[in-house]
Amino acid sequence: MSALKFIALSGTTGVTQNLYLYEYENDLIIVDCGVGFPESDMYGVDLVIPDFTYLRENAGKIKAILISHGHEDHLGALPFLLKEIKAPIYSTRLVAGFIEEKFLDYGVRNMKVNVFDPERDVLTFGSFRVTPFRVSHSVPDGVGFAIDTPEGRVFHIADYKFDWTPVDGRPFDVGKVSALASEEVLAVASDCIGATTPGYTESEREIEGKIEEIAAHAKRQIFLTTISSNISRMQQALNVAGRAGRKAVFIGRSIERKAEIARTLGYLHYPRELMTNPKQARKLPVDGLMYIISGSYGQPGSALYRLALKEHDFLSLQEGDVVIFSSDPAPPGSKANVDFVVDKLIEANADVHYYDMQEDLHVSGHGSQKDIEMLFALLKPKYFIPIGGTIRHMRAYSLIAQKMGAKAGDVFELTPGQVVEFRGKSAKIAGKIPVKDVLVDGLGIGDVGNVVLRDRQTLAKDGIAIVLLTLDRIQGKLTSDPEVISRGFVYEGKNKRLLTVSGSLLSKELARKPKLDAKIARDATIEFLERYFFESTGRRPMILPVVVEV
Amino acid sequence: MSALKFIALSGTTGVTQNLYLYEYENDLIIVDCGVGFPESDMYGVDLVIPDFTYLRENAGKIKAILISHGHEDHLGALPFLLKEIKAPIYSTRLVAGFIEEKFLDYGVRNMKVNVFDPERDVLTFGSFRVTPFRVSHSVPDGVGFAIDTPEGRVFHIADYKFDWTPVDGRPFDVGKVSALASEEVLAVASDCIGATTPGYTESEREIEGKIEEIAAHAKRQIFLTTISSNISRMQQALNVAGRAGRKAVFIGRSIERKAEIARTLGYLHYPRELMTNPKQARKLPVDGLMYIISGSYGQPGSALYRLALKEHDFLSLQEGDVVIFSSDPAPPGSKANVDFVVDKLIEANADVHYYDMQEDLHVSGHGSQKDIEMLFALLKPKYFIPIGGTIRHMRAYSLIAQKMGAKAGDVFELTPGQVVEFRGKSAKIAGKIPVKDVLVDGLGIGDVGNVVLRDRQTLAKDGIAIVLLTLDRIQGKLTSDPEVISRGFVYEGKNKRLLTVSGSLLSKELARKPKLDAKIARDATIEFLERYFFESTGRRPMILPVVVEV
């Protein structure tokens, strides 16, 4: 008997790397295909992407890839997926613009994104009929999907909040959702990351007044930074600049490119004469400028970072300049970078408005507890699947559903790879597809795994000691004292003696063995030096014996 | 002409590592001597301690070391300092207990701490007369100092807040401070880390009700975790346990030891029969127990960590058990650890109360903006020195002082080593003592510096490739293809070929040189392989050629 399968290939326990599958007989559709970011102990790793094994094995079934909105953790892994399978991509216009820009970066050719209109289009893919609808989030043009399946209607709503006054004037399409929900709703898979935050999430609109207030008091240049996908925030900054009689300048490649895409596609509006360029800007009075600059996470090398460190090619920061961070320091590790940049800006006597000041210069893009309750009240689904959060967010989401009458068993808190099977209006966990995180490091995709990472962790902590052993194969003896070279272990300038002594002691130790061969010499070296170095330094460097047989 | 020098040897820009000097002619007193914690890129470093060079050079002048309160960042570097200089230490009774416990750990012998009573003692050290007074903070028995110097009275107030209802019933001694401030106050050096937080900091007292509420609904065992120095929080947990008819158990070495010290010295009060031990606890009903357990920062290996991972020797977590985190995830990197432990606890279906739930289960120990204003209003100092924060906190503190009438030049935002000189009632910056962070790694103090750290960072990011070159010295040729071994670079199982090929290509490259010696071979190897590996993998491992001459 056939069944609908919902597969959380990844994205339920780590916030990012969103990738969900709907499968029915020979039809499979993918919703979102995002990247993740390395944990702090994944040294050297650039990106984490989902495991595409299952998709490769079922490539023939894949009818469509739907993308919900323009954030990296929902679309960033597309170039990697498209190396493995071919399938048509569907999104709204702005999201398509962002995806095609990404394809340029990765050299993906001949892939056009199919643009749908969430006001009127309905898409059919084999057994699935998909009706998109507008949601509000911190990037414009996001959508949710009502997915009609042979087992019933499922709502898939990735990152969203209920913002009735969004900057782009297009709020969550609650009317359409109500109409779609008037038929029985089998299940909802929706964003859970706000489930631990009380109340409703504030509207993006609130921020514009705060920026305006700061601009009103500014007597010099203003630098406003936000993440490059936050087109609405850019729009607000441009609105403020216009009213304040300031000219605006985009600074930084990511901001410039995203703004250009948004403007061309009609998502960012401003009169031509509002903008100027850095060269013209020099001729304008310092109280007549607003820069919209990239680097809101304090990324080393970003435009704002270089400005703060007085390393920027053509911009310079003066005493009394105003810097506005209009974003949270969100990704792991970024708080330290933001703090560093803020400190440098303050040292240069800029007037800095940042997260610590609690001036409400940023609001979350994710619905909080009350938004989640409202969604559940609208949809009245039979089953619930929290996505886009972590274990603690899934549990908090489940408690909200239970408070509203669901049974604990109606909520599926999935770990990556887990499958929910819907059959005859009832749902159950039906196994788990084996998946692992795939690490991208430089040009390598998936070749860095536990072995390499464990080595990097050992090397990072205590470095390495390389031991050169010259072995007379026939005699079974060393021909000379082992030579010990280290990196990242001790400062050789000061500790040369430690290494020399370790070589002679090791030599004596090895001389006790009746007859050495390469393996015996290696094992004994590791055993002896691990103990010796730990006793004399308290450290455990990696010991790497290299045997030369003569 | 003589002058009073205030030297921020460390502690003004990095929150921790507090160490300040007051120097007048041949007298020098030290206030606090704390450790710091490694930044995230200081791989393998256990602790950071201040640079004691200046103290070593002026050892003869040091009359006393005063410790303000019982936190690591104010006393943890004492064992290291005492290796370099001898001087008497002064503190309150509980702080002395904590210091002497630390001395036991570090094997420091024959050092007794001199205990003063902040209600009545006045201490004289050469030109300095020091009057301690009680302050409130998140650990009991903290004090500030009024330091009378030949140039005037200076107040040194490390971590504090104004808590009128502290758990130990001994609030900030505002009466004594007012009296002391009735004479002219030359300067204040005080905690600035709350300077970016609006309002007043709440009283510790508020928390007890929140814990009680949770306990009232708990139907099973309760585990409450806090940092081991937070004696007041332990007291509150014990109060709640007593009223709820639960027996209490301390779990974890740090909690047990600190609690024992506090009880013995009269800072923790409970009836003997309230406590039980883990063995007896097994025989009690599950709703009759409260564990006070260490591991509030999610430290790997801590009691709570092992409980969450079901690896604890004698404790086990059951569905419905209640876990209360009564502390913020504060130190760098600890948030990820706390999140990991919280997720494990939730997976085990415990009812977890942690930072995300915003239930006010922790309050800061540091005064906020209004506390700082109150202190300034009390003292009316001529000069201001923010301590214990960072650049952004110093600036916010300075803005508070300026709002209250100070000139910007009256506030000294010091970087480590900077000296303020007071002479004839006026103050100015008078140079800077060169200081650096001293890193502790295992048994080594200060031997890990930039060279070793840079190597560790390179090794962490892309690993290492060791190249064994066997060189015929007379011919100036290699006798065979170089052997390339790697660790943390690529997975050798899959990439054996990359390494073998790199060896043969290198061999060809080196064959082009007219005559090889060890240096030429090494340099050419590094140049060739750096490029080759980057082009083929996008990575930059450390290249380490080892030349064997035959």
Q: Is the model's pLDDT at A492 over the cut of 90?
A: no
**Long-range contacts of residues A169-173, Cβ cutoff 8 Å, at least 24 apart:** A170/A134, A170/A136, A170/A140, A171/A134, A171/A136, A172/A134, A172/A135, A172/A136, A173/A118, A173/A133, A173/A134, A173/A135
pLDDT in tens, A252-268: 999 999 999 999 999 99
Q: Inform me whether the C-beta atom of residue A319 falls under 8 Å from chain B C-beta atoms.
A: no
CB contact under 8 A, A548 and B456: no
pLDDT in tens, A228-241: 999 999 999 999 99
Quote the percentage of chain A above a pLDDT of 70.
Answer: 99
| 3-class SS letters over A226-246 | CCCCCHHHHHHHHHHHHHCCC
Helix ranges (DSSP H) in B333-390: 334-347, 369-379
The H or E element that residue B439 is part of is strand B438-441
**Residues in CB range of B333: below 8 A, 6 or more apart:** A40, B40
The structure tokens listed for A503 are 């070589």
Mean of all residue pLDDT scores within chain A: 94
- In this model, does residue B206 exceed pLDDT 90? no
The helix (H) or strand (E) run that includes residue B188 is strand B185-191
Res. A358: pLDDT tops 70:
no
The total of other beta-carbon atoms located within 10 Å of residue B402's CB is 14
Residue-level pLDDT at B358: 65
Q: By the CB < 8 Å criterion, does A480 face chain B?
A: no
ipTM, two decimals, is 0.89
Q: What is the pLDDT of residue A452?
A: 94
Predicted confidence at residue A247, as pLDDT, reads 96
Name the residue with higher pLDDT: B381 or A358.
B381
One-letter amino acid at B443 equals L
pLDDT at B529 over 70: yes
Give the pLDDT band of residue A330 (cuts 50, 70, 90). low
Higher pLDDT: A169 or A247? It is A247
What is the distance in angstroms between the Cα of B515 and the nearest Cα belonging to chain A?
23
pTM (2 decimals)? 0.91
Position A253: which residue type?
R
What pLDDT shows up at residue A357?
A: 67
Residue A488 has its nearest CB partner, among B447, B455, B491, at: B455
Q: Which residues of B touch A488 (CB under 8 A)?
A: 43-44, 452-453, 455-456, 458-459
Provide CB contacts within 8 A for A427, sequence distance 6+: A186, A187, A382, A383, A410, A412, A420, A421
* Alpha-carbon gap, residue A237 to A262, rounded angstroms: 15
pLDDT of residue B329 exceeding 70, the answer is: no
**pLDDT-wise least confident of A199-203, B178-182, B394-398:** A199-203
What mean pLDDT is predicted for residues B453-480?
A: 93
Cβ distance A548 to B470 less than 8 Å, yes or no, reads yes
**Which residues in chain B have Cβ-Cβ distances shorter than 8 Å to A451?**
491, 493
Residue ranges with strand state E in A388-463: 418-423, 426-432, 438-441, 444-445
- The rounded distance, in Å, linking the Cα atoms of A536 and A344 is 41
Looking at the partner chain, which of A347, A487, A539 has a beta carbon nearest the beta carbon of B441?
Answer: A539
Amino acid A412: pLDDT:
98
Instruction: Considering only CA atoms, give the Rg of chain B.
Output: 29
- Amino acid making up residue B275: M
Percent of chain B with pLDDT over 90: 86
CA distance B511 to chain A (A): 21
User: Domains in chain B, please, with CATH?
Assistant: 4-200+364-444 (3.60.15.10), 205-355 (3.40.50.10710), 463-549 (3.10.20.580)
SS3 content of chain B, % helix, strand, coil (to 5): 35, 25, 40
Q: How confident is the model at residue B247 (pLDDT cuts 50, 70, 90)?
A: very high
Q: What is the mean pLDDT of chain B?
A: 94
Distant-in-sequence contacts of B34-38, Cβ < 8 A, 24+ apart: B34/B71, B34/B72, B34/B73, B34/B74, B34/B75, B34/B76, B34/B77, B35/B72, B35/B73, B35/B76, B35/B77, B36/B10, B36/B73, B36/B437, B37/B331, B37/B332, B38/B439
pLDDT, position B204: 85
Average pLDDT over residues B301-325: 94
Which range is least confidently modeled, A395-399, A471-475, B414-418, B535-539? A471-475
Q: Is B506 exposed, middle or buried (0-12, 13-18, 19+ CB in 10 A)?
A: buried
Q: Which of B39, B391, B542 sits opposite A487 (nearest CB)?
A: B542
Residue B403 CB neighbour total at 10 angstroms: 11
What are the angstrom distances between the C-alpha of B481 and each of A140, A485, B485, B507?
A: 58, 22, 13, 6
Given a cut of 90, is residue A334 above it in pLDDT?
A: no
Using a CB-CB distance cutoff of 8 angstroms, which residues of chain A are in contact with residue B356? 196, 392
